[in-house]
Structure 1
């Protein structure tokens, strides 16, 4: 069957109906890719280097011949792999620029009866879109507050009430502190994080508020782009206050069950900032299950860090909200009412 070349606009609707294959090398795929794509390389990492070298030294024809020499013996394996994984007979394919690799894959699959849709201009056109998407202007409402006030829980509860949220820490696989990677999947690359962030933003109504947590520029190894980070700094921020005892209890619920060696490693990463004595005391408390003690020790550092981050917000954009003795349901109701006060109405705020 003959392939159909599709634009990025056509791609958005088809991707929800048809499996997606990335024909680039495993290294390119690992660096970044369209979410939910399956990687079936036409050229492996090593083969891509070989072909690229020949292209530079001898030109396109010699490089093409070498590429077919390398991949040709695997043609039947590629066909069989796709037939096994996607028996329905329809497939979306792409490579870096929609060139030779996706053309070869499209040809191979067409030969065994697949209805193939190939993305024009490939991953490059998708990445251009996601790059621009995460640098647009958005209506943001930021949840701030010291470590342990329950910002993530509030964010999730707001989502259950039909509010638009953007959970940057979930996308980054990191909770944003020295302890933030414990129990998390490996972090994506910055480029892949922006792809994931763009996919989430594409689901939002740009005229409505998006709730998100206050974050530093870095979330683990992820770095937020300057434009979005500046937007966060200029957006209204609700500074949530709760008693230290409540904060310690919440942190204990989330971290006390984690492996001690990983908690200790996180404390050691902060040694220069904590000082030798506080580091030693915190490690001893972890080993002895004195969770309230080591958490209280860490909060001395993290509270100072939060205050520093808070200062990047203009004071006239900050609303202080005391949620002492308020459960999750009551706290959420208060947040929704405060949102209405801040923006004048629940939805469609003016820019």
Structure 2
């Protein structure tokens, strides 16, 4: 079984499958993108083995681990065969590159696979992830505009035109505001970091990179400070769309959600919204008038976005003003023309 560092391991992972020997809970908290979970232990089994290691001895822990793993060995082989036939190669790792990945690597190697293990395990990978956030992107351009301007759609159209993008909302599975997480599965901070790291490493730093003007927090995911600081200093193209069009978009995106979800979203910004606006918003939701409720939300977010603009260090290089918002594809073309 060969071992290699995180950078080489990730290069190999572009071509060969990765099998993560950690528990389902560890995997759910964060994993290498596209990895397959092949847990040697269940969550409960790992807890039991760990307790024996601490309270009894290493030998007793190993023996108990063999009790758990032995009956599963054939299943492991069959699960790997569903993804890759021998000789592979196949890539394996656990938390620190210790007994779990060594055991899985030995089993697969015995069966005839060429196995490559991640030296230092997932912990080494996470250090690599954090290092990638120091990558300089000198041609970054920020796409800005008030809530409801349709920035994310424009960002996707820029990608369709061959531009490089970092879609922070897509990576966080959240649309940015208090309402942005409605009916969306939560992404952990670790997984957000891992997926973002992969996007950054695939960028060409010599070309333009577009990123939406997000706050430090996108839902519950924090944008890494080195990237956020670069974004604050990068030039900005600002979309200026009429209040009518912005409100139309807000109603279209959120108006069909359950009243309870909308009330919870307003509850999260209650203190900053103010008691009177909060009361009006809730009364409007109860009356089925989300357009009025949306007006209250936009007043709050417009003010917050204004504060964010004041904190930026980078210049506004273009303002694209639309009384009637054209298609996102057309706006994307206008953005490219301005830079």
Q: TM-score, normalised by structure 1?
A: 0.87
Q: How does 1:65-144 map to 2 (within 5 A)?
A: 65-83=63-81, 85-86=82-83, 88-89=85-86, 90=88, 91-139=90-138, 140-144=140-144
Q: How many residues align?
A: 335
Given that residues 232 and 314 in structure 2 are in contact (C-alpha distance below 8 angstroms), is that contact kept between their aligned partners in structure 1? no
Q: Secondary structure at the match of 1:252?
A: helix
RMSD: 2.2
The worse-fitting range, judged by mean Cα deviation, of 30-39 and 89-98 is 89-98
Higher mean C-alpha displacement, 208-217 vs 307-316:
307-316
Name the SS of the counterpart of 2:147 in structure 1.
coil
Gaps of 5+ in 2: none
Asked if 1:152 is matched to 2:149, the reply is no
2-structure distance, mates of 1:293, 1:179: 15
Which deviates more, 102-111 or 29-38?
Answer: 102-111
Which deviations, in whole Å up to 9, do the C-alpha atoms of 1:276-320 show, x marking residues without a partner? 332232223234332321111211111111111111113745643
Tell me which residue corresponds to 1:25: 23
The residue number in structure 2 matching 1:268 is 267
Aligned to 1:343: none
CA distance in 2, matches of 1:178, 1:88: 46
- Alignment deviations for residues 130-173 of structure 1 (CA, whole Å, 9 cap, x no partner): 11112322132111111011111111111111100000011001
TM superposition score normalised by structure 2:
0.90
Task: Give the direction of change, closer, same or farther, for the CA distance of 1:307–1:99 in structure 2 (3 Å limit).
Answer: same
| Structure 1 residues 190-220: Cα deviation after superposition (integer angstroms, max 9, x where no partner) | 1221110011111110111210111111111
What is the Cα deviation at residue 6 of structure 1? 4.1
Aligned to 1:346: none
Question: Which string of whole-angstrom CA distances, capped at 9 and with x for unpartnered residues, describes residues 32-67 of structure 1?
Answer: 110111112112333333333443445544433333
- How far apart are 1:121 and its partner, in Å? 2.6
Give SS of 2:312's match. Answer: coil
Tell me how far 1:76 sits from its aligned partner: 3.3
The answer (yes or no) to whether the contact 1:144–1:237 under 8 Å persists in 2 is: yes
Say which is worse superposed, 309-318 or 91-100, in terms of deviation: 309-318
Quote the offset at 1:28 in angstroms: 1.5
- SS of the equivalent of 1:215 reads coil
8 A Cα contact 2:238 2:316, kept in partner? no
Deviations 1:48-103 (A, max 9, x none): 333334434455444333332343333334334434x3362333211122221011
Unaligned runs of 5+ in 1: 340-351
Corresponding position of 2:12: 14
